[in-house]
Amino acid sequence: MGVAEDVRQVLRDFLAPELREIRGIQFSLDKRLDSQDKQLDSIDELNRVRFEAIVRRLEVIQQSFAFDRRISSLEGDKRRSA
């Protein structure tokens, strides 16, 4: 049983503190990753809002061009009929 006790003691003396340190580092990394994830979610939401605003502006511009084409068409019809 001496060898088994020696192995247990090595595990207690060396591995246990190392595992605690690794867990501490992992916890720290998890917190940083959570923070980064929240930051990315915030950026994603901001980009979504901006993209929707751009789409709305483009739709207004598209409608404006369609209106201009209709007016030009009417003006052309008027010139042809005159």
- Using one digit for the tens of pLDDT, what is the confidence trace for 14-65? 888 899 999 999 999 999 999 999 999 999 999 999 999 999 999 998 888 8
Reported as a single tens digit per residue, the pLDDT across 2-14 is 888 988 888 888 8
Task: Output the pTM of the full model.
Answer: 0.56
Segment 57-78 shows an average pLDDT of 81
Cα–Cα distance between 58 and 71 in angstroms, integer?
20
Predicted local confidence at residue 70, as pLDDT: 78
User: How many domains does the chain contain in total?
Assistant: 1
> 25: buried, middle or exposed (CB in 10 Å: 19+, 13-18, 0-12)?
exposed
Structural domain including 51 reads 1-82
